[in-house]
Amino acid sequence: MQKARDVEQKKEEIKDK
């Protein structure tokens, strides 16, 4: 399930912004 990890990373990137 690499998509789930990609989603978590994208969420973190949005939180950082």
Return the amino acid letter for 11.
K
Q: With cut-offs at 50, 70 and 90, classify the pLDDT of residue 15.
A: confident
Strands, E, within 1-17: which ranges?
none
* Confidence check: pLDDT of 17 > 80: no
Integer CA distances (angstroms), 2 to 7, 9, 13, 17, in order = 9, 11, 17, 23
Rg of the chain taking only CA atoms, in angstroms = 8
CB neighbours (10 Å) of residue 8?
10
Q: Which pLDDT belongs to residue 16?
A: 79
pTM of structure: 0.15
Q: What is the pLDDT of residues 2-13, one digit of tens each?
A: 899 999 999 999
Q: Tokens representing 10?
A: 């994208």
